[in-house]
Amino acid sequence: MTNHEILLQASNLRKNYHRGGGAFAQSSERDQFKAVDDVSFQITAGETFAIVGESGCGKTTLARMLLRLVEPDGGKIIFQGRELTALSSAEMRAERRQLQMVFQDPYASLNPRMRVSEIVAEPLAIHEPKLSSIERRERTSAMLRRVGLNEESAARYPHEFSGGQRQRIGIARALILRPKLVVADEPVSALDVSVGAQMLVLLQELQQEFGLTYLLISHSLPVVAQVATRIAVMRAGKFVELGEAEQVLSHPQHVYTKELLAAVPELPAASA
Ligand SMILES: Nc1ncnc2c1ncn2[C@@H]1O[C@H](COP(=O)(O)OP(=O)(O)O)[C@@H](O)[C@H]1O
Ligand SMILES: [Mg+2]
């Protein structure tokens, strides 16, 4: 699958937020903290690039910057040769059909008032308005079947489903436009371990089938170890280590990576 084509290149990405500070806080340099601090990396077509790090280290901010759902304070993003950071918001919206996100909380990310068929078909309605309603329905039910949901799911509402099924709905919605890159931000952290493991298997099958490239974000090293081809270890807004998954898991270089590994005895590398 991997053909060594660079799909996305992020250079020197930065995002600062105000520290604490209510409505009357004065804005000055020292009131800012660096949520993402000079992060650079490339994602190659076909790979699963994983970012692992503890809660609050800046993973979600970084992920959302790649889609410009959060505006970077500095740095550059080039996706398929286009500089995303230079696009107008209309151009960026058009580009998002190639760049989709799967969210952590499968319930909060689905509109409770929409039927599953509408949720999954909505991106088609936006990006392919000329599609006939029959075609739209066919593509929607094919995608629902593919993620393991039956025919009757289409007419139901998100609250009628389990967490794992809701995440399948979110995945169907993210994939309906056949994106190139899928950014999955903690896709299994709201799920039981066994349900989460199944979800990761499904994501891997879909990757093969649709030729997808993944950016997978997780605070969990076992999750990352299950699917990553390369791993970046993030701490306090920075990447402290980046390498081939096997290398990072079996020969960690940074002391922080060693600490993360030591905390998960079930991973074979932990004893190293
Ligand atoms: N919109 C925001 N305004 C202010 N601070 C934020 C905002 N979003 C995130 N933060 C802070 O930035 C840091 C990184 O957050 P986040 O990117 O969500 O980390 P992670 O996904 O790794 O848990 C945290 O300290 C968080 O509280
Ligand atoms: Mg997060």
pLDDT score recorded for residue 216: 98
Percentage with pLDDT > 70 across the chain: 93
| Distance of alpha carbon 258 from alpha carbon 91, whole angstroms | 42
Q: Could you report the per-residue pLDDT of 223-239, keeping only the tens digit for each?
A: 999 999 999 999 999 99
Q: Could you report the per-residue pLDDT of 34-62, keeping only the tens digit for each?
A: 999 999 999 999 999 999 999 999 999 99
Answer whether residue 94 is part of any domain: yes
**Tally of domains in the chain:** 1
Whether 109 shows a pLDDT value over 90: the answer reads no
| Distance of alpha carbon 62 from alpha carbon 87, whole angstroms | 18
Residue 205's domain is classified under what CATH number?
3.40.50.300
Answer whether residue 92 is part of any domain: yes
| Distance of alpha carbon 53 from alpha carbon 63, whole angstroms | 13
Q: Ligand 1 pocket check: which of 61, 224, 238 to mutate, most ligand atoms within 8 Å of Cβ?
A: 61
Answer whether residue 205 is part of any domain: yes
Cβ of 217 closer than 6 Å to ligand 1, yes or no, is no
Answer whether residue 236 is part of any domain: yes
Average pLDDT, the chain: 92
Answer whether residue 160 is part of any domain: no
Ligand 1 center–CA 58 separation, angstroms: 6
pLDDT score recorded for residue 31: 82
**Which ligand has the minimum distance to the alpha carbon of residue 20?**
1
Report the nearest-CA residue for atom 14 of ligand 1. 58
| CA distance between the termini of the chain | 31
pLDDT score recorded for residue 22: 55
Answer whether residue 165 is part of any domain: no
Atom of ligand 1 nearest to the CA of 61: 17
Mean pLDDT of the region 119-146: 95
Cβ of 60 closer than 6 Å to ligand 1, yes or no, is yes
Atom of ligand 1 nearest to the CA of 63: 17
pLDDT score recorded for residue 1: 46
Answer whether residue 161 is part of any domain: no
Cβ of 57 closer than 6 Å to ligand 1, yes or no, is yes
Cβ of 165 closer than 6 Å to ligand 1, yes or no, is no
Domain that holds residue 218: 6-103+180-271
Answer whether residue 90 is part of any domain: yes
Instruction: Show the CA angle centred on residue 51, arms to residues 271 and 251, nearest 5°.
Output: 30
5, 45, 47, 79 from 9: Cα distances, Å: 11, 11, 14, 6
